[in-house]
Structure 1
Amino acid sequence: MREILLVFAIAFFIFVEISTIYIHQNSVGILGYYFGFYSREIFGYMAFVYPIILLYLSYSIYKTEYFDKNFLKKFIIIVLLFVSILMAQSLIFKNQLSGMVGDFLVTNLLSIFGPIGIWIFVLATFSVSFIVLFDIRFEEMFFKIIRETNLSIFKLRKKEKNDFNFDELELQNNSKNNTINTVIEDLEETNDEKLTFNFKNQDEIEINENKKSNSKTTITKELEENKKLLNDITLGNVIKPKGFTLPSTKLLNKVTKQNIQINEAQIDEKVKDLLIKLKQFKIDGDVIKTYFGPIVTTFEFRPAAHVKVSKILNLQDDLAMALKASTIRIQAPIPGKDVVGIEIPNEHFETIYLKELLEDELFSKSTAPLTLVLGKDIVGNLFVTDLAKLPHLLIAGTTGSGKSVGINAMILSLLYKNSPDDLRLLMIDPKMLEFSMYNDIPHLLLPVITDSKKAVIALSNMVLEMERRYKIMSTIKVKNINGYNEKAASQNLEKFPYIVVIIDELADLMMTSGKDVEYSISRLSQMARASGIHLIVATQRPSVDVVTGLIKANLPSRISYKVGQKIDSKVILDSFGAESLIGRGDMLFTPPGSSGLIRLHAPFSTEEEIDKIVNFLKAQRTVEYDENFLKQENSNINSNEIFDDELDELYEDAKQIVINDKKASISYLQRRLQIGYNRAARIVEQLEFNQVLSEPNTKGAREILL
């Protein structure tokens, strides 16, 4: 729409310009004739210029996404400059083209200020307009003149001094002995060295100052890397569910407008401080781009060719002190670029509301039912992802990092997209605090599980549900849940809803039944994607005994909020950086198939808003729980069938060796049976399941139970 208006505006102003130049009805018609005639009468000679000014203003309005103070200031200055030109025109020209507006202003002000006062006003307006429009700074001009003057004087004095020394040396060579000559030569060399050194410093200062004064920060409002990922989100007409009304964004609190403007002078000052501090540590380079966002400002620093990246990383604390920041994060290097990212918290944080993100077209028109709202990126643009493409998510963050706020935003975005017929949730909350407010919503498969033993059973039965779905899907020859549901609609078969399993604290489950939980999560993360079952697993303590290698290997998509130590960041993200986050929902996200980290800021939602949405959902439909997911018998039967069907041919031989020799290690069975390590490990697992061997203790040893 804006493009159409711009084209019409350009066409109109071109017509007005032509009408002013060719004031003949035969060329421009009666409308053009009147436009041209009255333009000349009102504006005089400026009638030939003002359409071009209006054309420039139209283009500026088109390019401006929102009207900030800088745009308003420049608009007022242009109007003021135009008026002052009209007045100057009236004072200079006394003919028909002096302009009615200028004549009116001059006539009324002449008796008050006189012609000299009006000329002073016109010249002052001219000066102010040029200073604002071209960003001229008197202080910089003044110091530049002083520097140029001092440098010229210095060069002149140096030349005079060199000439004087040369003449003096010739005279002394003719009249003094060799000893005195040697002393004079030494003095001359010393003086020359000092002069050369000082001159070099002066020259460097001049170059550096000119570089600083001429450089201006380029503030970018879009991230190309994020744009590529968001292009994978398919937009279109979203089909509304039948028999169920999705919640409206009116249930959420009104977004409070925040007037947080980009302070370019302050950003330039930070750039200068950053470059000075890096220069002190002999790190040369330049800031080529700046990204200003709701929480942080990011500087892209391009180091010189001789600078090692590791040297910049070691200066994180020094740079934080120099920039007066609580913490900074250095991304060195940014993948795919020859720059280093330096992220600094803003002085004032912008509150990110969930409502504005849910109302954004990127979410509301996304055709993916499992679209998750993650938050805003470092330039303030919405960032969403499709859980079906992740296909699972591992989350870490300490208490107070905003992890719960981020998970609530993900849950609410799922509830805003899906009816209970299309999506079922299984929530596991061993802490008994985070998910209690979601109890009895119609999307739940079971009441929010707070008991660790029940959680283990539910996860085991979720594996059974996955296998059941695959058996049905294989009979009708489809590869995924979308293909199955399309055939199910035409063949009157059972519809498979998406199932999202959300675990709030993995550490509690791993402490009680680590091996069973690890087995279920691994099986689901390896195979459940095509069946429509997805995992969101969160933990406060991302240590290696909680987030094991097997779990990490099958959960490539990860989010880390602020963590306490560098090693925690390394465990969850395979890189450092999460320890330098600032909390309040600040996160690092690793999308699948990408080596880079994306910094995002989670939206805020209050408990009152969640209660409104929950009550709205509960009022529409009564929840129907599926208690089959808590039946332990099903899980045991399934496990027995799995192991009985797959017992190794050497199982009985291995059992006799263990009982007779009283040795139960994998390597021992490997040697005795002359088999590979993996096969021996599988046999040991079967012996453990059939209660021949115990679970390994802290030292890895097993007891023989028979």
Structure 2
Amino acid sequence: MAKKKGRSKRKYDKKNEKMNEIKALIQISFGIICIFSLHTNSVGRLGLFIKNLFMGLLSTPAYVLPYLIIITSFFSLNNIFKEKKSRFMFSFISLYICFIIIYSLIHRQHIPEDILSYISLKQSYYLGTEGGIAGGIIGNILTSILLFFVGVKGSYIIVTTMAVLSLILTTNLSIMDILGFIGKVFNMIFNFLKSSIVNLFSSKTIVIDNQEKVSKNREKSKSKLKKSDGTNKDKKDIVDEKIKILDYTSNTKAVALPDDNKNNLNDGKSKSKEDNKGESEDESLSNINVKDKNNIKDYKLPDINLLKPNEKSSTVKDKKDILNKAKTLESTLQNFGVEAKVVQISKGPTITRYELHPEPGVKVSKIVNLSDDIALNLAAQNIRIEAPIPGKSAVGIEVPNESSTLVTLREVIESSAFNDSNSKLTFVLGKDISGQPIVDDLGKMPHMLIAGATGSGKSVCVNSLITSILYKASPEDVKFLLIDPKVVELSCYNGIPHLLLPVVTDPKKAATALNWVVQEMTNRYKLFAQNGVRDLDGYNEKFEDSKDEKLPKLVVIIDELADLMMVAPNQVEDAICRLAQMARAAGIHLIVATQRPSVDVITGVIKANIPSRIAFSVSSGADSRTILDMGGAEKLLGKGDMLFYPVGSSKPRRMQGTFVSDSEVNKVVEFIKSQVEDVKYEDDIIEKISNEENSDDEEVDELLSAAIELVVEAQQASISMLQRKLRIGYNRAARIIDEMESRGIVSENLGSKPRNVLISKEEFEEIKSQTS
């Protein structure tokens, strides 16, 4: 029985579908006939009858009725509207009735008073057929009823309410959606009128230099107000149809000072209290004298013309590409069900950041998980998503530019950010995403870790850092200790008076030099304690009038930490940790760079004590987490693209590092060296490092002397004897035997025979007495 019922039901559904298709086809045909009847005379007497009937009943709104008939016919054909057919039909008919009544209200002066009388009905029919006046018989009757009960204003209110309710039923939208759409339409009209007025006034510029500048400034201010209008009108709804574009080529403001004025300015600053914080000497408690031996009078800072200026590039065509990518980005997110709008675009030297404001209810994680799909649709090499942007309720999509722009050291040194800084340890980093010059003070960091793969821009960053400090500080203000195990990276700075000693290239000497820096730090703290001060600033302020007592700031730069960790890992790690923990108040700052950011090079102890970090492009997310404690560096583009994570910052900041060529560095170095005839380094420090290196080369086992006495007494030597007598392992006993062989105490290995002892007891006693 159930099968028969199911079959009969399916047959009944098929019959209904066929009937619906027949009805829809007849309805569409009738609608087309009505269209031709109302607009032309090509349908004959039937068309004339339809036209007179429709126009007499409905007047001008009759022209809309055929289209409404055709639209409703599709409800019978499409299964989507099957369950909601009656609701859609009711809403469409209600909207059409509202349209008829509104049209009749507009022409209410033509409605007869006694509308239900035969004469009035005939008059309404005639007015509709002849001139399309009023609302025909139906429109006039409905309008007269409303006017009789609620008047004109009440009629408009009732009809508007019915229209809105019908629209809500038809489109399934809320009232807030409709109001929001109306608001956007008015906002677009307002912005269009505003921009037209601005363009009208900006086109009437006068060709006089001063007045032309004034008009340009006004135009820029008006455009800024126009761009910010959409984002500042309502803080609850940041989304606006107008996208704000920030181009770094127009935002960067450089302050280029004349050379003479610049040198005078820097000379004047060097006399202030803040800049006298570091001048050289430590002679009370250490045997090593750190006094500046060069005695340069009237030292001049390097000329800015030694550096190459930046070549400006045209960016006219970039605006269209940026806006097209913004539209592609929005459409891509919409395809995956993520509603978000681009509210601001920041174009930088290397990347462009699109700031997205997600709609309420959209999770940030959904946008982050779509990074590969976004990169595919934008045809980008790699993208990085910053979610959220610190201080903004937006998500940043960072997309590489098709062509990157070089950021030169000169344009950042000429910026007001660098020139307004009073610290002698001010150094240049580069430009951020919006093109703003980024400089920082090493004294506030106070130590920094720089890491990145080979060719990512790490060495250029170190050169920019040193060169920018040379543009700020004299040899009396800052001293450098450069450690370069790779030999070729920092050797170009040899010969400048800022160096405490020549560039250290031997890894063994480097470990000893770091130990000397630790001793220097200890000596400075003892000196501070004797004079009742807490740090280098207080000490130099106390001895402001005495140059011989002042101490310079000391910057220690290690260009390749991995080589040092291979030679003397324990000594290097201990020295770096002690300096990172205590050296700030002593005016000693540490910069460590490495191209191998693995956990065996950047150990947990080193990373915990160096808070400020710079990450260049790395090969994996694990290396990025080693440097920054988070991913992101693996998505950098290389060639100076970096993440700067200073102390106190919640998230790293992306920027393009400055580029300084070898020729520019050599010109600056030659300019500084030309002011000194013969550079004198700290010979005492060099001698001490050399002596400690020799002593390190002669590092011996603590049981060696006891083993020598044992062998000389027994006049025989073997590994097994040392194992038994000294109670040590085989490896250690073998090393002691090898050491005695190298010193000529025992003979070479004679196979199965024991080694011969080459000195007698008397000779050993004589050597022992001489050494004591």
| TM norm structure 2 | 0.55
Q: Which amino acid aligns with 1:189?
A: K
Aligned to 1:402: 457
Cα distance, 1:262 vs structure 2:
6.9
The answer to whether residue 427 in structure 2 is matched with residue 515 in structure 1 is: no
Aligned to 1:189: 82
Cα distance, 1:254 vs structure 2:
3.4
Aligned to 2:68: 156
- Whole-Å Cα distance in 2 between the matches of residues 271 and 452 of structure 1? 52
1:543 to 598, 611, 617: 598
* 3-state secondary structure, aligned to 2:625: helix
Unmatched 5+ residue regions in structure 1?
1-151, 166-183, 228-235, 640-661, 664-706
Q: Kindly tell me: are residues 276 and 239 of structure 1, through their superposed partners in 2, closer, same or farther at Cα, counting changes over 3 Å?
A: same
Q: Kindly tell me: are residues 153 and 580 of structure 1, through their superposed partners in 2, closer, same or farther at Cα, counting changes over 3 Å?
A: farther
Aligned to 1:624: 680
Q: Kindly tell me: are residues 589 and 189 of structure 1, through their superposed partners in 2, closer, same or farther at Cα, counting changes over 3 Å?
A: same
The answer to whether residue 654 in structure 2 is matched with residue 599 in structure 1 is: yes
Q: How does 1:74-473 map to 2 (within 5 A)?
A: 156-157=68-69, 160-161=72-73, 189=82, 192=85, 215-220=241-246, 238-239=266-267, 243-261=298-316, 263-473=318-528
Q: Kindly tell me: are residues 439 and 336 of structure 1, through their superposed partners in 2, closer, same or farther at Cα, counting changes over 3 Å?
A: same
- Whole-Å Cα distance in 1 between the matches of residues 80 and 388 of structure 2? 51
Aligned to 1:51: none
- Whole-Å Cα distance in 2 between the matches of residues 153 and 450 of structure 1? 92
* 3-state secondary structure, aligned to 1:530: coil
Q: Deviations over 1:628-672 (max 9, x none)?
A: 444259979x99xxxxxxxxxxxxxxxxxxxxxx99xxxxxxxxx
* 3-state secondary structure, aligned to 1:442: coil
Cα distance, 1:247 vs structure 2:
0.6
| TM norm structure 1 | 0.59
The alignment-based identity, stated in percent, is: 46
Residues 462 and 629 of structure 1 are in contact (CA less than 8 Å); yes or no, is this contact kept in structure 2? no
Cα distance, 1:506 vs structure 2:
0.8
Cα distance, 1:492 vs structure 2:
5.7
Q: Deviations over 1:49-96 (max 9, x none)?
A: xxxxxxxxxxxxxxxxxxxxxxxxxxxxxxxxxxxxxxxxxxxxxxxx
Residues 438 and 614 of structure 1 are in contact (CA less than 8 Å); yes or no, is this contact kept in structure 2? yes
Q: How does 1:4-43 map to 2 (within 5 A)?
A: none
Q: Which amino acid aligns with 1:420?
A: P
Cα distance, 1:255 vs structure 2:
2.9
Q: Deviations over 1:221-240 (max 9, x none)?
A: 69xxx99xxxxxxxx95435
Q: Kindly tell me: are residues 202 and 303 of structure 1, through their superposed partners in 2, closer, same or farther at Cα, counting changes over 3 Å?
A: closer
* 3-state secondary structure, aligned to 2:674: helix
Residues 460 and 635 of structure 1 are in contact (CA less than 8 Å); yes or no, is this contact kept in structure 2? no
Residues 158 and 195 of structure 1 are in contact (CA less than 8 Å); yes or no, is this contact kept in structure 2? no
* 3-state secondary structure, aligned to 1:596: coil
* 3-state secondary structure, aligned to 1:620: coil
Q: Kindly tell me: are residues 264 and 535 of structure 1, through their superposed partners in 2, closer, same or farther at Cα, counting changes over 3 Å?
A: same
Aligned to 1:646: none
Q: Kindly tell me: are residues 217 and 528 of structure 1, through their superposed partners in 2, closer, same or farther at Cα, counting changes over 3 Å?
A: same
Q: Deviations over 1:298-329 (max 9, x none)?
A: 11112233333233222222211111111111
- Whole-Å Cα distance in 2 between the matches of residues 532 and 354 of structure 1? 26
Q: Kindly tell me: are residues 467 and 154 of structure 1, through their superposed partners in 2, closer, same or farther at Cα, counting changes over 3 Å?
A: farther
Q: Deviations over 1:437-482 (max 9, x none)?
A: 1122211112111111000000000000011111111111112212
Cα distance, 1:201 vs structure 2:
11
Instruction: Figure out how many residues of one structure are paired with residues of the other and give that number.
Output: 461
Q: Kindly tell me: are residues 635 and 528 of structure 1, through their superposed partners in 2, closer, same or farther at Cα, counting changes over 3 Å?
A: farther
Residues 509 and 690 of structure 2 are in contact (CA less than 8 Å); yes or no, is this contact kept in structure 1? no
Unmatched 5+ residue regions in structure 2?
1-63, 90-169, 189-239, 254-263, 271-296, 697-726, 729-772
Residues 242 and 343 of structure 2 are in contact (CA less than 8 Å); yes or no, is this contact kept in structure 1? no
- Whole-Å Cα distance in 2 between the matches of residues 499 and 154 of structure 1? 89
- Whole-Å Cα distance in 2 between the matches of residues 421 and 186 of structure 1? 88
Q: Deviations over 1:595-631 (max 9, x none)?
A: 1211111111111111111111111113222244442
